[in-house]
Amino acid sequence: MSYGLMPEGFVSKTMEEIRQELIDQLRARISPSLSFEADSILGHIVGIVSEYVARAWEQMQAVYRSMYPDSAVGDALDGIAAITGVTRLPATPSRVIATVSGVPGTVLPAGRVASVEGTGARFRTVEEVTIPEVGSIRVEMVAEDTGPIPAPAGTLTQIETPVVGWESVINLEDAILGRNRETDEELRARREATLRAVGSGTFESLRAALLLLPGVQQVRLFENTSMETDATGLPPKSFEAVIQG
């Protein structure tokens, strides 16, 4: 049997095949009567060498598989995706708009922290704000940890880093969820979608472009190809996108 890079792909040797080849070679070159019992000195030597050689074959196979998007993983897959202009999406934190209230003139430096009641998820202010005469102001806050950390409306209420004059905080809307680092499976799927879009018409190209925007999770695209406004109110020769993110 042939091993290595073959027309049908890469064929790797198993550790048992390597062990048997070593035994056959040693018996052919030294003596047919050599013993390779598991508890013998030669048995131990052949076992150790076989294991190291098998690891080398496994690494060669891994290098071979790293050239193909369906089998590449981690950094190798990042490199393949980059050839087509696709980069792995990093982990991002959830973001929320909160209303802070207190004594007019109170300055809240960037980095002040409030937490979600019940879960303790912590969000910090993105920039410095000053509470105006009306007694409250909206401020953007970002989760301290990355990933889809929820903050349902009305739950970001616990002040964790008090400031004199800062009396309360609340979010009137749900947080925009962050995301975990894009997995290998997700990156493969997005790369394939991008490649299909390159060879497709405007509809698929537009959908693929929208999916590449930060925070976008799903896209439904509608098209009116006629010269008249359709039944849904879509103007002639136009697109409408419904985006979840």
Comparing C-alpha atoms, which of 125, 129, 126, 124 is closest to residue 105?
A: 129
Determine how β-strand 9-11 pairs with β-strand 4-6. Answer: antiparallel
What is the CA 209 to chain-centroid distance, rounded?
Answer: 18
The per-residue pLDDT for range 78-87, each reduced to its tens digit, is 999 999 888 9
Distance CA 89, CA 182 (A): 5
Q: What one-character DSSP code corresponds to residue 55?
A: H
Identify the pLDDT of residue 72. 93
Can you tell me the mean pLDDT for 54-71?
Answer: 91
For 14-47, write each residue's pLDDT tens digit: 999 999 999 999 999 999 999 999 899 999 999 9
- Beta strand 136-146 with 156-159 is unpaired
Higher pLDDT, 208 or 99: 99
**Average pLDDT score, the chain:** 91
* Local structure of residue 25 (DSSP, 8 states): H
Kindly give the pairing relationship between strand 156-159 and strand 9-11: unpaired
Domain boundaries, the chain: 4-67, 93-171, 200-244
Distant-in-sequence, close-in-space partners of 93: CB < 8 Å, separation ≥ 6: 142, 143, 144, 145, 146, 147, 149, 178
Whether pLDDT at 236 is above 80: yes
Assess whether pLDDT exceeds 90 at residue 147. yes
The DSSP code sequence of 112-179 is -EEEETTT--EEEESS-EE--TTSEEEEEEEEEEES-----TT-EEEESS--TTEEEEEESS--B--B
pLDDT over threshold 80, residue 213: no
Q: Is the dihedral of CA 6, 8, 13, 17 positive or negative?
A: negative
CA distance 4 to 61: 8
pTM of the predicted model as reported, rounded to 2 decimal places = 0.65
Q: How confident is the model over 104-123, as a mean pLDDT?
A: 97
- Residues whose CB falls within 8 Å of the CB of residue 228, separated by 6 or more in sequence, listed in order: 236
- What is the distance between the alpha carbons of residues 241 and 20, in angstroms, rounded to a whole number? 63
- Per-residue pLDDT, 65: 86
Structural tokens at position 30: 């030294």
Could you say which DSSP state residue 196 is in? H
Q: What is the model's pLDDT at position 232?
A: 87
pLDDT level of residue 127 (50, 70, 90 thresholds): very high
* Opening angle at CA 214, ends 205 and 150, nearest 5: 135
Residue 173 is classified by DSSP as S
Nearest C-alpha neighbor of 217 from the set 188, 176, 165: 176
> Which residues neighbour 211 within 8 Å (Cβ) at sequence distance 6 or greater?
190, 193, 219
- Looking at residue 201, its pLDDT comes to 60
> Whole-angstrom Cα distance, residue 234 to residue 108?
46
